[in-house]
Amino acid sequence: SAVISQKPSRDICQRGTSLTIQCQVDSQVTMMFWYRQQPGQSLTLIATANQGSEATYESGFVIDKFPISRPNLTFSTLTVSNMSPEDSSIYLCSASGTPTYNEQFFGPGTRLTVL
């Protein structure tokens, strides 16, 4: 299985600021994704992080609010921009698609609180 790490694990931020979350996979993967989990809810896909090109966003999510980078096959970042209290959530990255498996594995998540 792939081992995925995220930084930071949690943060408390002020309204109007931005936070960049990093996701590192221990092996090369085809696909990387970013999800949001609001308190007490299930996961919602924000976007697919495409290596070397712009991310593919789901309905309700836009690049200006959630810019994503994926410079190589093992690393991605998600920025939550101009934050408001409604952005308080757990943000999770995931990865799938190696030569040996296509299960999707998740990082430990970043718990974001916006005051």
Partner 1 sequence: SQQGEEDPQALSIQEGENATMNCSYKTSINNLQWYRQNSGRGLVHLILIRSNEREKHSGRLRVTLDTSKKSSSLLITASRAADTASYFCATDHNNAGNMLTFGGGTRLMVKP
Which residues would be at the binding site for partner 1 (CB under 8 A)? 1, 30-31, 33, 35, 41-45, 48, 59, 90, 92, 94, 96-97, 102-109, 111
Burial 16-42 (b: 16+ CB within 10 A, else e): eeebebbbbbeeebebbbbbbeeeeee
Task: Identify which of residues 31 and 81 has a Cβ nearer to partner 1 in the complex.
Answer: 31
Task: Identify which of residues 46 and 80 has a Cβ nearer to partner 1 in the complex.
Answer: 46
How far apart are alpha carbons 80 and 11 in whole angstroms? 12
**Minimum CB separation from partner 1 for residue 16, in Å?**
26
DSSP string, 76-113: EEEEE-S--GGG-EEEEEEEE--SS----EE---EEEE
Torsion angles phi and psi, residue 89, rounded to 5: -165, 175
Task: Identify which of residues 33 and 66 has a Cβ nearer to partner 1 in the complex.
Answer: 33
Task: Identify which of residues 16 and 62 has a Cβ nearer to partner 1 in the complex.
Answer: 62
